């Protein structure tokens, strides 16, 4: 298996460690990179290291950003009294692509998953409760429809309701276990418009 030489093998190994990249794709990417002009490869490499060292989590919603507050939290025109709770930054991006949601977000960075030992203290629930001390009218729970997503939604609802804040759940038009990221915008809007009181 050493017909490529260790440098190329190393590159292929690094690439195939990325999610969704199998060994064939990794080989294809590796050969593509090797044939790229030197300056393009350097630009690619530095964009990787720059992104890694500068990107951080928004102090308010917890999404990935490169400033203290993400552009959405920093935008005074957004409705800061409506908070949509999502699992990941990719889910936030999916709702932003619809262009119709005007509130702000709260990114949990995970869901409660007892099987994996992930409890309420392991996701950003404490931060959510802190935000609810402010002027908040509605919390829209948009975790996925997997068992873990539903469990998390129920847990959050029980936590928030005593505070007298309106709690809603996106409609279940979203396929079971479906990653929000892969769901088209029309379905997302339907799920948002059809949200129900919890
Ligand atoms: Zn933010």
Residuewise pLDDT in 10s, the chain (198 residues): 567 788 999 999 999 999 889 999 999 999 999 999 999 999 999 999 998 888 899 999 999 998 899 999 999 999 999 999 999 999 999 899 889 999 999 999 999 999 989 999 999 999 999 999 989 999 999 998 888 999 999 999 999 988 889 999 998 755 544 566 667 788 888 888 889 888
Can you spell out the DSSP letters for 26-74? HHHHHHHHHTS-HHHHHHHHHHHHHHHHH-EE-TTT--EESSSS-TTTT
Ligand 1: distance of its center to the CA of 60 in Å?
5
Ligand 1: distance of its center to the CA of 79 in Å?
13
Ligand 1: distance of its center to the CA of 7 in Å?
40
Report the pLDDT value the prediction gives residue 185, as an integer from 0 to 100.
80
Ligand 1: distance of its center to the CA of 185 in Å?
21
Long-range residue pairs from 90-96, CB within 8 A, at least 24 positions apart, any chain: 90/179, 90/180, 90/181, 91/142, 91/144, 91/180, 91/181, 92/61, 92/63, 93/181, 94/180, 94/181, 94/183, 94/185, 94/188, 95/142, 95/180, 95/188, 95/192, 96/72
Ligand 1: distance of its center to the CA of 105 in Å?
7
Q: Which residues surround ligand 1, an ion (CB under 5 A)?
A: 58, 60-61, 70, 73
Query: Angle at Cα 135 formed by Cα 130 and Cα 141, nearest 5°?
Result: 65
Ligand 1: distance of its center to the CA of 95 in Å?
14
Ligand 1: distance of its center to the CA of 47 in Å?
22
Report the pLDDT value the prediction gives residue 41, as an integer from 0 to 100.
96
């Amino acid at each position: 298996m050493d017909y490529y030489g260790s440098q190329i093998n190393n590159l292929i190994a690094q690439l195939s460690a990325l999610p969704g990249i199998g060994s064939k794709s990794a080989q294809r990417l590796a050969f593509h990179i090797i044939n790229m002009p030197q300056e393009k490869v350097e630009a690619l490499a530095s964009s990787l290291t720059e992104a890694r060292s500068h990107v951080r989590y928004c102090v308010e919603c917890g999404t990935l950003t490169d400033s203290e507050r993400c552009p959405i939290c920093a935008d005074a025109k957004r409705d800061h009294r409506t908070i949509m709770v999502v699992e990941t930054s990719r889910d936030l991006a999916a709702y932003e692509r619809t262009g119709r949601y005007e509130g702000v977000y709260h990114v949990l960075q995970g869901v409660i998953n007892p099987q994996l030992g992930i409890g309420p203290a392991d996701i950003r629930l404490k931060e959510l409760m802190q935000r609810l001390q402010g002027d908040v009218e509605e919390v829209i729970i948009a975790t996925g429809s997997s068992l873990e997503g539903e469990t998390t939604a129920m847990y959050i609802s029980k936590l928030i309701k005593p505070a007298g804040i309106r709690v809603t759940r996106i409609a279940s038009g979203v396929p079971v276990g479906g990653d929000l990221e892969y769901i088209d915008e029309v379905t997302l809007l339907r799920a948002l418009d059809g949200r129900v009181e919890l």
